[in-house]
Chain A
Amino acid sequence: MALYIFAHRGEAQTFIKNLRATALDKDLYQSNNGLIYICSEGIYDVMCRLGSILDKYQVSKVINYGIAGALNNKLKINQVYSIRSIYLENNNEIEFKSITLNGDTDCITANKRVLDESHKNKLLPIADIVDREIWGIAKVCQAYNIELQSYKLISDFAGASTDCFDLKNTAQIFSDLMWNHFQARENLATNENNSRMIQSYEIPWDGTQYQKNILDKLMKKIDKNQLETFIQNISEQNLAEKEKINLLIEKINNKLYPVQAKIKEKLKRETKVLSDNGFQVIYDQKLEKKKIKLNLEVNSQKNISDAIRALEKFNYQSFNEIFEGNFDV
Chain B
Amino acid sequence: MFNKVLIEKDILNTKKTQSILNKVKYQDLIEIDRYDEYFGKYKKPYLQKRENLNLYIAKKKGNLIKETPDAYGLSGDKHYYYIHQYNCIYECEYCYLQGYFHSPDIVLFINHDEIINEMQKIMDQNQERVWFHAGEFSDSLALSHITDEFADYYAFLDKNPNALIELRTKSVNTKALKGARENLYITYSLSPQQKIKEIDLKTPSLKHRLSAINKLYQEGYKIGIHLDPIIYNDDFKENYQEFLDELNTAIPIKEIQYISIGVVRYTPNVWNEVKKNYPNSIMHKEELVKTEGNLIRYNKPMRMWILNTVEEMLYSYEIAKEKVYKCMEI
Binding site for B on A (CB under 8 A): 72, 74, 84-85, 87, 94-98, 100, 104, 106, 121, 124-126, 221, 256-260, 263, 286-288, 290, 322-327, 329
Closest Cβ neighbor of B54 among chain A residues = A125
How near does chain A come to B238, taking the closest CB pair, in angstroms? 12
A327 and B305 contacting across the interface, CB-CB below 8 Å: yes
A124 and B304 contacting across the interface, CB-CB below 8 Å: no
Q: How far is the CA of A35 from the CA of B5 in the complex (A)?
A: 42
- Which residues of chain A are within 8 angstroms of B292 by Cβ–Cβ distance? 288
- B301 CB-CB contact with A under 8 Å: yes
Can you list 16 residue pairs at the A/B interface with Cβ under 8 Å?
Answer: A72-B28, A74-B28, A94-B38, A98-B42, A124-B30, A125-B6, A125-B38, A260-B287, A286-B289, A286-B299, A287-B289, A287-B302, A325-B300, A325-B306, A325-B309, A326-B308
Interface positions of B from 279 to 326, Cβ below 8 Å from A: 285-287, 289-292, 299-309
- B72 CB-CB contact with A under 8 Å: no
- Which residues of chain A are within 8 angstroms of B125 by Cβ–Cβ distance? none
Interface positions of B from 184 to 202, Cβ below 8 Å from A: none
A85 and B45 contacting across the interface, CB-CB below 8 Å: yes
B30 and A126 contacting across the interface, CB-CB below 8 Å: no
How near does chain B come to A185, taking the closest CB pair, in angstroms? 20
Q: How far is the CA of A269 from the CA of B223 in the complex (A)?
A: 44
Given contacts A257-B286, A286-B299, A325-B303, contact A85 B44 (CB under 8 A): yes
Interface positions of B from 23 to 67, Cβ below 8 Å from A: 27-28, 30, 32, 38, 41-45, 48, 51-52, 54
Closest Cβ neighbor of B38 among chain A residues = A125
Given contacts A125-B4, A260-B287, A325-B307, contact A87 B42 (CB under 8 A): yes
Given contacts A322-B301, A327-B305, contact A96 B291 (CB under 8 A): no
Q: How far is the CA of A272 from the CA of B4 in the complex (A)?
A: 64
A325 and B301 contacting across the interface, CB-CB below 8 Å: yes
- Which residues of chain B are within 8 angstroms of A329 by Cβ–Cβ distance? 305
- Which residues of chain A are within 8 angstroms of B4 by Cβ–Cβ distance? 124-125
- B102 CB-CB contact with A under 8 Å: yes
Max chain B Cβ within 10 angstroms of own Cβ: one of A74, A96, A97, A259:
A259
- Which residues of chain B are within 8 angstroms of A106 by Cβ–Cβ distance? 52
B289 and A121 contacting across the interface, CB-CB below 8 Å: no
A257 and B291 contacting across the interface, CB-CB below 8 Å: no
- B124 CB-CB contact with A under 8 Å: no
- Which residues of chain B are within 8 angstroms of A323 by Cβ–Cβ distance? 300-301, 304
- Which residues of chain B are within 8 angstroms of A124 by Cβ–Cβ distance? 4, 28, 30
Residue-by-residue, is B120-141 near A (CB-CB < 8 Å gives 1, otherwise 0)? 0000000000000000000000
B28 and A325 contacting across the interface, CB-CB below 8 Å: no
Closest Cβ neighbor of A94 among chain B residues = B42
A286 and B45 contacting across the interface, CB-CB below 8 Å: no
How near does chain B come to A70, taking the closest CB pair, in angstroms? 12
B305 and A95 contacting across the interface, CB-CB below 8 Å: no
8 Å CB contact of A256 from B30, B32, B285, B307 = B285
Given contacts A259-B232, A323-B300, A329-B305, contact A85 B289 (CB under 8 A): no
Closest Cβ neighbor of B306 among chain A residues = A325
A288 and B291 contacting across the interface, CB-CB below 8 Å: yes
B302 and A260 contacting across the interface, CB-CB below 8 Å: yes
Given contacts A125-B32, A221-B285, A258-B234, contact A288 B300 (CB under 8 A): yes
- Which residues of chain A are within 8 angstroms of B287 by Cβ–Cβ distance? 257, 260
- Which residues of chain B are within 8 angstroms of A72 by Cβ–Cβ distance? 28
Q: How far is the CA of A95 from the CA of B102 in the complex (A)?
A: 13
How near does chain A come to B46, taking the closest CB pair, in angstroms? 10
How near does chain B come to A100, taking the closest CB pair, in angstroms? 5
- Which residues of chain A are within 8 angstroms of B303 by Cβ–Cβ distance? 325
- Which residues of chain B are within 8 angstroms of A327 by Cβ–Cβ distance? 301, 305
- Which residues of chain B are within 8 angstroms of A324 by Cβ–Cβ distance? 301, 304, 308
- Which residues of chain B are within 8 angstroms of A326 by Cβ–Cβ distance? 304-305, 308
- Which residues of chain B are within 8 angstroms of A94 by Cβ–Cβ distance? 38, 41-42
A259 and B300 contacting across the interface, CB-CB below 8 Å: no
Given contacts A94-B41, A125-B32, A288-B300, contact A85 B306 (CB under 8 A): no
Q: How far is the CA of A323 from the CA of B292 in the complex (A)?
A: 14
Closest Cβ neighbor of A87 among chain B residues = B42
- Which residues of chain A are within 8 angstroms of B291 by Cβ–Cβ distance? 286, 288
- Which residues of chain B are within 8 angstroms of A125 by Cβ–Cβ distance? 4, 6, 30, 32, 38, 54
Q: How far is the CA of A259 from the CA of B32 in the complex (A)?
A: 53
Max chain B Cβ within 10 angstroms of own Cβ: one of A97, A104, A106, A325:
A325
Closest Cβ neighbor of A324 among chain B residues = B304
- Which residues of chain B are within 8 angstroms of A259 by Cβ–Cβ distance? 232, 286, 302, 305
B45 and A287 contacting across the interface, CB-CB below 8 Å: no
A96 and B300 contacting across the interface, CB-CB below 8 Å: no
- Which residues of chain B are within 8 angstroms of A126 by Cβ–Cβ distance? 38, 42
Q: How far is the CA of A329 from the CA of B30 in the complex (A)?
A: 57
- Which residues of chain B are within 8 angstroms of A260 by Cβ–Cβ distance? 286-287, 299, 302
Q: How far is the CA of A286 from the CA of B289 in the complex (A)?
A: 6
Closest Cβ neighbor of A72 among chain B residues = B28
Closest Cβ neighbor of B6 among chain A residues = A125
B289 and A325 contacting across the interface, CB-CB below 8 Å: no
How near does chain A come to B257, taking the closest CB pair, in angstroms? 25
Q: How far is the CA of A97 from the CA of B54 in the complex (A)?
A: 19
Q: How far is the CA of A60 from the CA of B301 in the complex (A)?
A: 47
How near does chain B come to A244, taking the closest CB pair, in angstroms? 23
Closest Cβ neighbor of B28 among chain A residues = A72
- Which residues of chain A are within 8 angstroms of B28 by Cβ–Cβ distance? 72, 74, 124
CB-CB nearest 7 A-B residue pairs: A325-B304, A325-B305, A287-B299, A286-B289, A325-B308, A98-B43, A263-B301
Max chain A Cβ within 10 angstroms of own Cβ: one of B27, B285, B300:
B300
- Which residues of chain B are within 8 angstroms of A96 by Cβ–Cβ distance? 41-43, 102
How near does chain B come to A105, taking the closest CB pair, in angstroms? 9
- Which residues of chain A are within 8 angstroms of B45 by Cβ–Cβ distance? 85, 98, 100
